[in-house]
């Protein structure tokens, strides 16, 4: 591929030192040369990255300059990361990046190498000259990576040293996102590198106001907001893992309902399975969409119970008033009332990993109580469904 374009910084040499341009250098900063510095990144990993505008040469190596504007590919990547497993590989090369024309006094912001986290940060830095130090979090966002330890002290210390950050800035501070604080021991980073860690606002969009206020956070900047839009944006990833099990369930119900001595009767299969397929869709919607969206409104603290309430609120009216269960035997009714609200409950419980409402201790406690209920309910539902099919066929 073509080497990264060298950006002419057009800065005051005093502010630029010790960064050097391609064909000139600041006084007493480096030996004058027109040779490009070695790249700090694997340029193959940056192939086709339209968010890179060029690069600047520094004593530590060539640093990519990134755009603060999102392009169509960035927006498409955001959508794909929200709705598919694409997010598991939506990562960038860790290391140092530049925004604008940074110099020795420019701020250093820390981010994860999950590209959506990086994109949100660079967009918030529009109009600023800054450095972005990207940690290798395995393509995981800041909050989750901090919990796993990949956005942590060891990686931050290593990245400061590998990037030779001490040669890039006069000050000795980095600004990390508040949601990464759980993984970073600021005192240890200071001892190991000499750099103090400041924890900035929760949301990158508040960075300009945070800087303007003298690097002080207001209460609003410290508060984690988890609005209905935030929760709604996460629902596609809650729905997606449930689609495949639902399809397996649908095929199983069609096969069981249509089974006859002469083979599988398709009309019988459809008419017999349709009520259960509708309830299955209702359970998916209740657990993966309704519960997250109405999270603060649904009573009870437990996510499992919230999902159970939401599931029952959809399942019971369908059974009672849709007409699809008219004349249904007690076995089918019992299986429906038990199984589908529990499916909704299980899906709602999965949302604990994306919510600001829970902690690890609470999640473990919920699982300890909920799993036996799910297993027991599944057994009861299976017995009810078997009994229903035996009754329909006149065997019992």
Give tens-digit pLDDT for 293-316.
999 999 988 999 999 999 999 999
Residue 45 scores a pLDDT above 70: no
pTM: predicted TM-score of the whole model, two decimal places: 0.73
pLDDT for the residue 34: 35
Higher pLDDT, residue 329 or 33: 329
User: Which is higher by pLDDT, 31 or 250?
Assistant: 250
Lowest mean pLDDT, pick from 176-180, 311-315, 341-345, 355-359: 355-359
- More confident call, 218 vs 88: 218
Alpha carbon 259 to chain centroid distance?
Answer: 43
| Highest mean pLDDT pick, 4-8, 44-48, 227-231, 284-288 | 284-288
Confidence of residue 332 (pLDDT cuts 50, 70, 90): very high
- Lowest-confidence region among 34-43, 47-56, 218-227, 314-323: 34-43
CA 132 to chain centre: 20
State yes or no: pLDDT of 285 exceeds 50.
Answer: yes
Does 259 have pLDDT greater than 80? Answer: no
Least confident segment among 107-111, 209-213, 301-305: 301-305
Residue 140: pLDDT above 90? no
Considering only 28-42, 157-171, 246-260, 323-337, which range has the smallest mean pLDDT? 28-42
Q: Is the pLDDT of residue 6 over 50?
A: no
Identify the pLDDT of residue 237.
Answer: 79
Average pLDDT, the chain: 84
User: 107 vs 46, which has greater pLDDT?
Assistant: 107
Confidence of residue 210 (pLDDT cuts 50, 70, 90): very high
pLDDT of residue 359: 60
**C-alpha–C-alpha distance, residues 129 and 107, integer Å:** 8
Min mean pLDDT across 1-10, 166-175, 313-322, 368-377 is at: 1-10
Contacts of 223 (CB under 8 A, 6+ apart): 202
Task: Quickly state the pLDDT bin for 11 (edges 50, 70, 90).
Answer: very low
Of 219, 143, 131, the C-alpha closest to 177 is 143
Domains, the chain: 13-222 (3.40.50.11600), 228-392 (no CATH)
pLDDT digits (tens, 9 = 90+) for 91-104: 999 999 999 999 99
Q: Report which of 7, 139, 122 is spatially closest to residue 63, judged by C-alpha positions.
A: 7
Q: How confident is the model at residue 21 (pLDDT cuts 50, 70, 90)?
A: very low
159: pLDDT strictly greater than 50: yes
Res. 1: pLDDT tops 80: no
3-state SS, the chain, equals CCCCCECCCCCCHHHHCCCECCCCECCCCCCCCCCCCCECCCCCCCCCCCCEEEEEEECCEEEEEECCCCCHHHHHHHHHHHHCHHHHHCECCCEEEEECCCCCCCEEEEEECEHHHHHHHHHHCCCCCEEEEEECCCCCCHHHHHHHCCCCHHHHHHHHHHCCHHHCCCCCEEEECHHHHHHCCHHHHHHHHCCEEEECCCCHHHHHHHHHCCCCCCHHHHCCCCCHHHHHHHHHHHHHHHHHHHHHHHHHHHHHHHEECCEECHHHHHHHHHHHHHHHHHHHHHHHHHHHHCCCCCCCCCHHHHHHHHHHHHHHHHHHHCCCCCCCCHHHHHHHHHHHHHHHHHHHHHHHHHCCCCCHHHHHHHHHHHHHHHHHHHHHHHHHHHHHHHHHCCCC
Instruction: Please give the Cα distance from 241 to 239 (Å, whole number).
Output: 6
Of all residues in the chain, what percent carry a pLDDT higher than 90?
Answer: 54
């Amino acid at each position: 591929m073509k080497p990264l374009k060298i950006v002419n910084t057009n800065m005051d040499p005093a502010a630029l030192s010790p960064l050097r341009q391609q064909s000139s250098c600041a006084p007493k900063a480096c030996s004058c040369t027109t040779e490009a510095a070695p790249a700090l990144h694997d340029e193959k990993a940056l192939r086709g990255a339209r968010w890179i505008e060029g690069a600047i040469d520094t004593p530590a190596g060539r640093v990519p300059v990134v755009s603060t504007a999102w392009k169509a590919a960035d927006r498409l990547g955001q959508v794909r990361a929200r709705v598919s497993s694409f997010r598991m590989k939506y990562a960038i090369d860790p290391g140092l990046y530049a925004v604008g024309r940074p110099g020795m006094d420019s701020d250093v912001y820390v981010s994860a190498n999950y590209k959506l986290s990086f994109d949100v940060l660079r967009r918030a830095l529009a109009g600023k000259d800054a450095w972005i130090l990207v940690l290798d979090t395995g393509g995981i966002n800041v909050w989750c990576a901090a919990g796993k330890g990949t956005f942590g002290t060891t990686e931050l210390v290593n990245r400061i040293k590998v990037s030779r950050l001490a040669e890039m800035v006069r000050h000795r501070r980095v600004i990390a996102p508040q949601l990464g604080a759980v993984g970073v021991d600021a005192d240890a980073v200071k001892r190991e590198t000499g750099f103090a860690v400041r924890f900035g606002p929760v949301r990158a969009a508040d960075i300009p106001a945070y800087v303007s206020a003298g690097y002080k956070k207001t209460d609003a900047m410290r508060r984690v907001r988890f609005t209905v839009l935030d929760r709604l944006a996460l629902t596609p990833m809650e729905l997606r893992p449930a689609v495949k099990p639902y399809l397996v369930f649908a095929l199983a119900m069609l096969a069981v309902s249509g089974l006859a001595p002469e083979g599988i009767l398709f009309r019988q299969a459809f008419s017999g399975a349709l009520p259960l397929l509708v309830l299955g869709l209702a359970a998916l919607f209740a657990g993966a969409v309704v519960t997250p969206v109405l999270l603060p409104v649904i009573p009870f603290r437990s996510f499992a119970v919230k999902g159970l309430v939401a599931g029952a609120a959809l399942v019971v009216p369908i059974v009672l008033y849709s007409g699809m269960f008219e004349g249904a035997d007690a076995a089918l009714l019992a299986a429906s009332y038990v199984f589908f609200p529990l499916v909704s409950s299980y899906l709602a419980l999965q949302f604990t990993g994306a919510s600001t409402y829970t902690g690890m201790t609470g999640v473990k406690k919920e699982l300890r109580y909920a799993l036996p209920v799910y297993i027991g309910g599944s057994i009861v539902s299976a017995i009810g469904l078997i009994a229903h099919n035996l009754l329909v066929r006149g065997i019992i």
